[in-house]
Structure 1
């Protein structure tokens, strides 16, 4: 233990540069500039104290679960009680000029100029949807940090959640994303982040730079490394997690060597891996399409910055819709996405390239009916006759792949003249096919590659879910026994309104497994069925909400990825 005199001398030493400001002056006569200087000086003192490891616990630790005020190296963090056992801190983590790389903030500040710590951040610019009910603003690089009372007992892991929404929708305040219950159940600090969307984060007319949004998430991780110790969070035990495009972002971070030291483990829920990363050529073509929509030259930065946010959003949506016609490899669901640029994202991490050596532990999950919402909301007529099955598949996969699919035993449809030919709804097999191609089989192929190159990976499939607001008006997704894309979110977060016993049981199971995985990289925990990691070609996909393992079906390595190439194989990386 250090002698008390050391602290006295140290405090006198670090306060010397600011004593000249401590002139006896009536407070009413101190101008705003002087107040700012004093505040900045004191903040620098506390930052210095917090940066010295031996003093950090004394000056900077706080029982965050019992208090809404925590001193961090970036200044005083003020939060509110989210629940009786969780404190919520809303904070801006980075600044970014339009189409410029983000930089981490140097002081702790509430987002969007707010003064009330209970206020929520503005979302990034996006069209209205069920994914977000918050106002929007380009100044949107914010996060919500949920700190459980258990943090007072000692250092705990952290989970950084990256929301989904096809990279054009979503926010930290999206439905079901309150992290309080998850933080309590997993004994972890949960940070739900925002990142730039659409053309704001995935294109760049002024400098042609890809992956701005990927860099945003890296900046969020750097911010967490800076402040987590102040909340008794362990920066060496950060798990990144996301659903849908959020999981695609997690995969992008796994493929980014410069991000590797920023997190420990990773969780990918319902990543549409069939698309792969965007190629540099496709990025350039789509970026040029955006430039051609703008009323400015790409070299006229002043003009570009003066375009209204609403107008940029409209140009972004036009580009999103047209991207697949500009370059077919873009696809229709996530055409604006991370780019395998060779500098930040250095490996495609799929079947088209030499997979790198890996050592991180990852958890991958899909849901039973991933394609249900897309197929039953967009494919007409209702029902789709069996005779139209080939034409619908051909429109997506092309004749060669379609012929292989139709002639396989995996997606049977009744033959003309059979008893059920006239009543069969081909959408059921289109849904099975879409789920396999875009999600299940593509994820399993990735899992096999990960395991074969040194990483531990666990795979599961949800057979119990909770209807997400996006799916509430889709009859297929609301009928019993179906689990559509996004229906795993509220299960994991523990935010299902009035859960059934099956939903509550699965929430308890998944939160216990996530707690174990965040702590030691293994989702196995007492009282639950053993979850085997991937071994060779055996994925051992655990049924989540049921018993046993998932039947391999069409996800055998000899079918999807070989006999029937994924889209990223067809179009190249």
Structure 2
């Protein structure tokens, strides 16, 4: 139960209206035509652009001319999001392959063409979210890092990952095409294709991990920032994807080979079929989990490396920043699994772990000292369950990845951090636990990074300044260390040297993330299910 529910989180659909008034229109000449942008009050200029087009369930094609999204004529208009569940039809379109580009003020001269670019890939379990999600306005981040910030959209859910008679990783190809498009136009805004860093949170980070496992994507970016990636899940196997695909196809009123019928289906029909398959996924294939049951596939042609501890990593020199937050599992435990404010009896702990992990793994966890609780006591079982969920799905899995990245055939460095200060994301505002002092829930790092926290506290403002300063250094020098800030040591195979980001701690407690426990004594899901 815990495994199957962890990570069911999505970005709020829209943080602002379709068109945001701005005072000045800016034009820039690009190889693909004239770009029209809107000058932001921060001094950055925002450009909206369609980066590719795609027929339904076909590979996308990079745009050959500069166009506003959705055939809009207003440069201030925001793109429609990709089709997704629980969104009004008027807010989405299959014509959704768009980028919001934020360009900082430029100083004329030789340095004007040396801007780095940070490409943000939104989260949302691969089936929700958009470039216009809450807090994703890249203007402040662009100014603070003196970098171009590109926030992109990619196809979601069934329209991306369940093509009835086509390739399984369409959203991965979309993301690659977005970066290829940027490579053509960045020089027009002071950037360069050779200075692109990818960044993303949750499934957005998972998308970046997919690109790291894709040989044909390696030349597209130089470094990456992965925030709260649920690495425990791993990629889908082709066998599991086939099971899900067959179930989805059975929900449609068309044969998988009837392209004419498939093309005529309404989006709502497709979303309804997707919902059914998504809900049934764990019963069809236990390795899926409800958090991201339909996700990129290790297909052996596009995505060729497992990028987990079960096989050698491909050699690479890409530097990585890998972060989690203090209470990644908080929303799931306190809102999805056990909602409300009443404590959960202590004797619920062991059965919940057993249902999640199975008998053998559960017994090892319950017998360990890492998640202590007296089954006959009056403790709240949610306390150790939250710690367990955070370790299992996010923190320890990421730490294992970091050790493998720097020691198993890779030559790149990795820096590991834990957000101990955050800003309550709108998804978490109705969860009392996430409002408690000192709690940092999944997604609470987003507005810190973007500098979009409404009325930040002193601690939030300080951490935003630190993170944006470190990210700027990482973009420019492939190293997040900056004079005046605490030294951030890179991970080694023995010690990931996790840095507390914000808060008063001087070090992050290793706890169950020691190499001898998670990934060894207790297997991750990708090991247990031999994904």
User: How would you bin the TM-score normalised by the shorter chain?
Assistant: over 0.9
Change (3 A) 1:81 1:556: same
Aligned position for 1:125: 83
Aligned position for 1:507: 464
Q: For residue 138 of structure 1, report the CA deviation from its aligned partner.
A: 0.6
For residues 411-448 of structure 1, the C-alpha deviation after alignment (integer angstroms, 9 at most, x for no partner) is: 000252xxxx12x1100100000000000000000000
Aligned position for 2:219: 261
Which of 354, 358, 372 is the matching residue for 1:398? 358
Change (3 A) 1:257 1:466: same
Change (3 A) 1:150 1:246: same
Which of 390, 399, 411 is the matching residue for 1:454? 411
Could you tell me whether the CA contact under 8 Å between 1:448 and 1:536 is conserved in 2? yes
Give the 5 Å matches for 1:52-91: 68-91=26-49
For residues 488 and 156 of structure 1, the distance between their equivalents in structure 2, rounded to whole angstroms, comes to: 25
Could you tell me whether the CA contact under 8 Å between 2:247 and 2:277 is conserved in 1? yes
Residue 180, structure 1, aligned to residue 139, structure 2? yes
Give the 5 Å matches for 1:406-555: 406-416=366-376, 421-422=377-378, 424-452=379-407, 453-546=410-503, 547-555=505-513
SS at match of 1:282: helix
For residues 287-346 of structure 1, the C-alpha deviation after alignment (integer angstroms, 9 at most, x for no partner) is: 111000000000000000100011111111221111111111111100111111111111
For residues 259 and 134 of structure 1, the distance between their equivalents in structure 2, rounded to whole angstroms, comes to: 34
| Larger CA deviation: 544-553 vs 470-479 | 544-553
Give the 5 Å matches for 1:182-197: 182-197=141-156
Change (3 A) 1:465 1:133: farther
Structure number with bigger Rg: 1
Unaligned runs of 5+ in 2: 1-23
Q: For residue 380 of structure 1, report the CA deviation from its aligned partner.
A: 3.2
Aligned position for 2:14: none
CA RMSD after TM alignment: 1.4
Could you tell me whether the CA contact under 8 Å between 2:42 and 2:143 is conserved in 1? no
Residue 139, structure 1, aligned to residue 95, structure 2? yes
For residues 488 and 135 of structure 1, the distance between their equivalents in structure 2, rounded to whole angstroms, comes to: 26
Aligned position for 2:58: 100
- Taking structure 1 as the reference length, the TM-score comes to 0.86
Which of 264, 272, 277 is the matching residue for 1:306? 264
Q: For residue 354 of structure 1, report the CA deviation from its aligned partner.
A: 2.2
Give the 5 Å matches for 1:8-407: 68-128=26-86, 135-150=91-106, 152=108, 153-154=111-112, 155-207=114-166, 209-380=167-338, 382-407=342-367
SS at match of 1:83: coil
For residues 446 and 535 of structure 1, the distance between their equivalents in structure 2, rounded to whole angstroms, comes to: 11
For residues 511-561 of structure 1, the C-alpha deviation after alignment (integer angstroms, 9 at most, x for no partner) is: 000000001110001211010000221000000003422111100111000
Could you tell me whether the CA contact under 8 Å between 2:53 and 2:63 is conserved in 1? yes
For residues 225 and 386 of structure 1, the distance between their equivalents in structure 2, rounded to whole angstroms, comes to: 55
SS at match of 1:79: strand
Structure 1 stretches of 4+ moved >4 Å = none
For residues 194 and 319 of structure 1, the distance between their equivalents in structure 2, rounded to whole angstroms, comes to: 23
| Higher helix content, 1 or 2 | 1
For residues 458-509 of structure 1, the C-alpha deviation after alignment (integer angstroms, 9 at most, x for no partner) is: 0000000000000000000011110000000000000000000000000000
For residues 117 and 133 of structure 1, the distance between their equivalents in structure 2, rounded to whole angstroms, comes to: 22
Matched pairs, number: 500
For residues 84 and 243 of structure 1, the distance between their equivalents in structure 2, rounded to whole angstroms, comes to: 24
